[in-house]
Amino acid sequence: MGQSVSRCGVSCVLAILVPLSLFAADTSAAMLYTNGSAWVNGAHVPNPTLAIFSGDLLQTRSDSVANINTAGSTITVLADSLVKFEGSSLRIEHGGATVSTARGVSATAGNVRVAPISNVWTEFNVTDVDGTVRIAARKGDLTISDGKETTTLAQGQETTRDEDSGNPKGSKKQKGTQGGANTGASGGLLNNPWAIGVGGAAVGGYVFVRWVLLPKEDAVSPYKP
């Protein structure tokens, strides 16, 4: 009974805090929305909405996806993926993600780092499966670097790299309709100082709820039995 009351209280707080937290300018915090089973730092996500922070490790199953929303950016973590959220960047350990950003959010897989060429609305896909990194520039141009050299991938182009060396495995012109994740919130409201202050307070309140009120609930991780 006590646990049910606690969960009810958490749900009420979430209903208030989630919309406000989207305006937070602190890129070290974000809101996670799951569709299917997911794990954060090896613990099963009990609710479809959760606050996550830089350094959190997110896992999805073969039948689930997740969205990470920050101010001016949306990251869709694909099915059967293991990624580390790093605030203004994403590290892909396995699987892939679609990044839609106006704030230069980058993605790294192995030694390969993919980033928008400028802070304009950019959408791209990065997947890392069996040591091969596949990159597609859906909207806007990208830079691809491996610590040795940096190249540019133009909008509408695709290429592959070896995750260890970063050497090209070939490139090709993208065919068919361009796609990607649903675009995230952007615009003047995200830059409004009042909205930033309210969003920061909301994220802070959620941290209290997550760690104080929410009962700990573990489950078997697909990557960490």
CATH number at residue 56: 2.60.120.1440
Render pLDDT for 128-179 as a digit per residue (tens, 0 to 9): 999 999 999 999 999 999 888 999 999 999 999 999 865 565 544 343 333 3
- Cα-to-chain-centroid distance, residue 106: 10
Q: How many CA atoms lie within 13 A of 77 on its CB side?
A: 35
Model pTM greater than 0.85? no
Contact between residue 46 and residue 68 where contact means Cβ atoms under 8 Å apart: no
Instruction: Confirm whether 111 is domain-assigned.
Output: yes
Contact between residue 123 and residue 106 where contact means Cβ atoms under 8 Å apart: no
Residue ranges for the chain with pLDDT beneath 70: 1-27, 165-225
Q: What's the number of domains the chain is made of?
A: 1
Instruction: Confirm whether 206 is domain-assigned.
Output: no
Please provide residue 99's backbone torsions phi and psi, each rounded to the nearest 5 degrees. Answer: -110, 130
Domain that holds residue 61: 27-189
Instruction: Confirm whether 50 is domain-assigned.
Output: yes
Q: Which residue, among 14, 13, 51, 16, has the nearest Cα to 32 in the 3D structure? A: 51
Instruction: Confirm whether 166 is domain-assigned.
Output: yes
In angstroms, the CA 155 to CA 214 distance is 44
Instruction: Confirm whether 128 is domain-assigned.
Output: yes
Instruction: Confirm whether 69 is domain-assigned.
Output: yes
Instruction: Confirm whether 225 is domain-assigned.
Output: no
